[in-house]
Amino acid sequence: FSMRAELTRLDVKKIVDSGGSLAGKNLYKLDLSDIDLSTVDLRFCDLRYANLKEVNLTGANLQNANLGGSDLSKSLLSKADFSRADMRWVCFRNVTSIATIYGNCKLLEAVFFDAILDDSSFEDADLRRCKFNSASLSRVNMSRANLALADLRCAYIFETEFKGANTFGMMT
């Protein structure tokens, strides 16, 4: 296992432009900022510490991907599937993430400042110590999520489902 990305930014652009898949690729610490990765297959990718600022991931498949420590600030994540992804310590500042699937994700200490998360699902997700300050959480499914010590102060919460969620120490 190499700690360097196996592809360059240019390689990624070429693969995406030709309609190819990036599934299982090592993109560790790669600068992918401002690239259109909408509907791309990124399952099982290593995207740890990648720069994903202002990336379009609309409809992308990131199931089982590792995005630990990545920066997704100002990215478009609507209708993406992050099921079972490892997203610990990810920055989601100012993202648009409508109808996105975060089921069974590890999101420990992720930051969702000013994020639009409407109609998304965090079912069974680990959201311990996450910060949702000023986030929009309309019609979000948080069923059975672990929200222990999560900070939802100043978040807009409307018709959000918390059935079976661990809300120990959650701040609202």
pTM for this model (two decimals):
0.96
pLDDT computed for residue 145 by the predictor: 98
3 — pLDDT class (breaks 50, 70, 90): confident
Give CA separation, 97 vs 21, 30, 54, in Å.
22, 22, 12
5 — pLDDT class (breaks 50, 70, 90): confident
**In contact, 84 and 66? CB cutoff 8 Å:** no
2 — pLDDT class (breaks 50, 70, 90): low
Percent of residues, the chain, with pLDDT higher than 70: 99
